Chain A
Amino acid sequence: MSESSMPLPGRLPDVAEQESRTDTFGNIVEILHDWVTTVDHKKIGILYILYSLVMLVAGGIEILLIRLQLAGPRLNVVPAEVFNRLFTMHGTTMIFFVAMPIFVGFANYLVPLMLGVRDIAFPRLNAFSFWMTAFGGLLLYYSFLGGDGLQGAGTAPDVGWFAYAPLTERAFSRGHSTDFWALALILSGFGSIGGAINFITTAFCLRCKGMTLFRMPLFVWLMIVSSVLVILAVSPLTAAQAMLLIDRYLGGHFFDTQAGGSATIWMHFFWIFGHPEVYVLIMPAFGIASEVIPVFSRKAIFGYPAMVAASVSIAFVSLSVWAHHMFTIGMSAAGNAFFALSTMIVGIPTGIKIFNWLATLWGGKIRFEVPMLFSLAFLFQFLIAGLTGIMLAVAPFNWQLHNSYFVVAHFHYVIVGAILFMVFAGFYYWYPKVTGRMLDGRLGKLHFWLFVIGFHVTFDTMHIPGILGMPRQIYTYEIDRGWGTYNLVVTIGAFIQAVAILIFVANLIISLFRGKIAGPDPWDAWTLEWTTASPPHAYNFDAEPVVYSARPLWDLKHPDDPD
């Protein structure tokens, strides 16, 4: 069987291949062919991550244009129709083609290594899932060119990322913008479901010797929970989008209010997907926090069983909160009260997790390396995000805050302040494992501080225009509303964050060539991935590991005090 790992620049010499240097073109073709046809979980993981980074830049450009347009009242940076496409694409891109695939990438790379096995359960399904996701994104972005071409931004989706009906029906959306949205997400949805089936099966069927379910790293647990939510939540979205296409192309009336159809049933179907979706996004972030925080406090996670129970409870309850996105549609008082209650209840296990992380830090010896810096900021920011979430759960308060910039601030606090921060933590933590080199620490700290400052400048301020009555998804606003200065501050913060991300990308590239050689276990960590070479051999482990606790490396390093 041929060697299926490519030598990355900077890879350790003892595992590098002998490459024939005479045929460069043939080499490149061979490399490309290898990566395109790979079924190896590590390569597929890297493909997912690289894809997400490209999409992050695309979504970032979209938001910078949006922020320029909103930096002052009645500006003309982009016309209304382009703006409406930009914010729709920004949301769709960031959720479906950055946040979801980046964690699938992390999971792909890490889960088999953490479980002590050779690959995930279904390698070919894995490759299929990646390419479905990738093509979905390509189809979505092709929409910029379809129709009128770039003029007016083609027929890119312009109906908002939740695409409320009947705006999306043929009668009100005559071009193909809605079709691109629905088809791209149906495609990538199959990819998500395929990936979820893979992770669940791997965790339940393929663990190494001695690894009971309660000895798996918490990251794997959280990926299982996230995958279960994908199975239960992405499917309803696929169904709703199929219904939308039936309406648009076969004359159906699912959301056709003029034939007696219902606009609110789309909302129910969408948010039955949409709320669990945000837990799909945050669970892996919780998983990374549960790996990084213990290692950098030098203490085991406090309350492993409780963390598992809390995660499962959150997932379970999260299936019952969806209509807190719909408090203003005119549900009965009892309906509103039910969803307010369920939303508040889901905050309880969430808060418990924060307390467990706090207790892990307590009594530890905290090392402020870059992964930990991002994790500590995550704890503060996730706390705040959760509290603004409680505010939004109070239905009457929600009647004012819904669809305003307060909500935009809240969910960016979660998605950027919690999720993206943990993505960065994960990068700094596992980059040495994937590439064999450390990311530069100084650039990392610069990235961190710039990003934290930019984040707070933007998203702390953003709550205020919401309180002052500024709705979301508007391409401009009146001069006399009093929103201008705040929006300007928000825009400035956005550009600061953009610079920080550029520094991060530069760090990723530079360290590939000049980073310090990492060795198998640069952080003195405890889970199985740190027992392999950096980067791991194609086959991961020389022999199947045998474990006796949740921290096999701790047991090895501390034979007098194993778990």
Chain B
Amino acid sequence: MPLCRKIALASLVAMLLCGLPLFAGQSRTNIFSPQSAPARSIVAVSHFTLAITGLIFAVVGGLLAYVIIRFRRRDSDDGTEPPQIFGSTQIELSWTIIPVLIVTVIFLTTARVIFDVQDAPKPKSALDVTVVGHQFWWEVRYPGSQVTTANELHVPVSSASAPTPTFIKLTSADVVHSFWVPELAGKTDVIPNRINELWIAPEKAGLFEGQCAQFCGAEHALMLLRVYADTPENFAAWIRQQQQLAAAPQSDAVAQGRKQFEAQACINCHAVAGTVANGRFGPDLTHLMSRDTLASGAMPNTPENLARWIDNPDTFKHGSLMPSMHLTKPQIDQITTYLVTLK
């Protein structure tokens, strides 16, 4: 098959395959659908960069294609060698200067966005949140409100007229993680013995998803993140609810469950505000049932899943640091009965 036809065939195959993704599903982690100011700044500079690189590709790639076609050896070739050209200072100078100019332009734009995002002033109305990365879950604290939760952050929506961005301090309790919610901001690493900061300003209410973006061990893939942007009223209500102590048992079965919970080693790792459970190693369970997922997004938060998790975390997240306590079924049921009351 002659060369031209091969190229045409290859291009056709490639184009068809590019069409396949049209059948792919929607994505809630698309970096090109920003819903927050830092993410928007990034998209703006990316569009600019894509335009320039696209132009370079068109010009250089086009030249390459032209050269391949125009200067191919014809069948009628007489076998002599073409004129040997060893260089040209003028040409080489021009194709040095033009890239220098392009780099200057891209760099200046880049630098501006770097400083705008990283050194953005923090308004007085900003919310402070601390996120501590663990293997393989996220500890979330609201220092101003004395709230501690896990894996699911709630933040207020921030409008241009009444900005209430959230400034998140990031650190790790063990290894390096990375906090990434693409529609809200670029990622920032979560490093032990170091405090990093990132800020977000969600523009509308809703759920924003992300996950850990730095390999941190066995279950890195299942260290998911959920950020709920609430209207200011909903956010205040959520905070108030999280500030409550744990619900007291309203029935014997639940009281029995709580006794079981406190008798087992659970309280060594987990905390339930207002009880003796004071462990810091695992997620805070005071308002466990106010969360949509268990095990940092590994599965939906239902009583059945909860019971199965307590029985053996390995079935959902092999490598999770919570051991199976080898409890009997009645013990698990009692504990589950108690935990589902922690709203």
Contact = CB atoms under 8 A, between A and B. Distances in A.
Interface of A: 79-81, 84, 159-160, 164-167, 172, 257-258, 260-264, 297-300, 302-306, 328-330, 332-333, 336-337, 340-341, 344-345, 347-348, 351-352, 354-356, 358-359, 361-368, 376, 379-380, 383-384, 387-388, 390-391, 393-404, 449, 452-453, 456-457, 460-461, 464, 467-478, 480-486, 489, 558, 561, 563
Contacts of B41: 396
Contacts of A358: 60, 63-64, 67
Interface in B133-148: 135
Interface in B178-232: 178, 180, 182, 185-189, 191-194, 196-197, 209-222, 224
B260 to A, nearest CB: 31
Contacts, number: 304
Contacts of A368: 3, 72
Contacts of B162: none
Nearest to A348: B99
Given A333-B115, A390-B53, A485 B24 contact: yes
28 contacts: A79-B318, A80-B218, A81-B218, A84-B220, A166-B174, A166-B175, A264-B191, A264-B194, A299-B81, A328-B188, A333-B114, A336-B118, A340-B111, A351-B95, A352-B92, A355-B92, A366-B68, A366-B72, A383-B64, A390-B106, A397-B45, A449-B6, A452-B10, A460-B14, A461-B21, A481-B209, A482-B25, A482-B27
A460 B99 contact: no
A355 B60 CA distance: 8
A549 to B, nearest CB: 10
Given A80-B319, A341-B107, 7 more contacts: A164-B175, A300-B84, A303-B92, A352-B96, A365-B77, A398-B186, A474-B220
A261 B214 CA distance: 19
Q: Which applies to chain B's interface (DSSP): helix, strand, loop or mixed?
A: mixed
B71 A480 contact: no
A270 to B, nearest CB: 12
A380 B61 contact: yes
Contacts of B50: 391
B319 A396 contact: no
B267 interface: no
Contacts of A330: 188-189, 191, 194, 196-197
B133 to A, nearest CB: 12
A468 B219 CA distance: 21
B30 A467 contact: yes
Given A387-B56, A404-B213, A457-B17, A468 B218 contact: no
B330 interface: no
B193 A257 contact: yes
A348 B27 contact: no
A344 B103 contact: yes
A404 B211 CA distance: 11
Given A302-B86, A477-B221, A457 B45 contact: no
B45 A363 contact: no
A485 B87 CA distance: 48
B213 A384 contact: no
Contact of A337 (B103, B110, B192, B196): B110
Contact of B103 (A333, A345, A364, A489): A345
A474 B64 contact: no
A500 to B, nearest CB: 13
B77 to A, nearest CB: 6
Contacts of B49: 390-391, 394, 397
A54 to B, nearest CB: 27
B192 A166 contact: yes
Most buried by B among A172, A332, A365, A473: A365
B263 interface: no
B73 interface: yes
A282 B3 CA distance: 28
Given A80-B318, A167-B175, A380-B61, A460 B18 contact: yes
Contacts of A328: 178, 186-189
Contacts of A471: 178, 180, 211-213
Contact of A489 (B17, B197, B215): B17
Nearest to B196: A330
Given A396-B42, A397-B46, A483-B27, A359 B91 contact: yes
A200 B8 CA distance: 45
B82 interface: yes
Interface in B73-91: 73, 77, 81-88, 91
Contacts of B83: 363
A259 to B, nearest CB: 9
Contacts of A340: 107, 110-111, 114
B251 to A, nearest CB: 36
Contact of A379 (B46, B64, B119): B64
A464 B77 CA distance: 44
Interface residues of B, number: 101
Nearest to A479: B25
Contact of B186 (A297, A332, A399, A481): A399
Contacts of B96: 348, 352
A383 B60 contact: yes
A264 to B, nearest CB: 6
A298 B87 contact: no
B111 A403 contact: no
B122 to A, nearest CB: 15
A303 B87 contact: yes
Contacts of A345: 103
Nearest to A366: B72
A25 B26 CA distance: 65
A396 B115 CA distance: 10
B160 interface: no
B64 A167 contact: no
Contacts of A460: 14, 17-18
A400 B21 contact: no
Nearest to A340: B110
Contacts of B182: 400, 469
B81 A361 contact: no
A394 B106 contact: yes
B46 A484 contact: no
B88 to A, nearest CB: 8
Contacts of B114: 333, 336-337, 340, 395-396
Contacts of B191: 263-264, 329-330
Most buried by B among A84, A400, A461: A400
B217 A167 contact: yes
Given A365-B77, A402-B187, A449-B6, A486 B21 contact: yes
A172 B107 CA distance: 40
A58 to B, nearest CB: 22
A486 B174 contact: no
A363 B85 contact: yes
Contacts of A355: 60, 92, 95
A481 B29 contact: yes
A400 B42 contact: yes
A378 to B, nearest CB: 11
Interface string B156-176: 000000000000000000111
B276 interface: no
A468 B212 CA distance: 15
Given A166-B175, A328-B187, A469 B27 contact: yes
B14 A164 contact: no
A366 B21 contact: no
Contact of A469 (B29, B119, B197): B29
B117 interface: yes
B176 A352 contact: no
A299 B46 contact: no
B100 to A, nearest CB: 6
B57 interface: yes
A561 B73 CA distance: 22
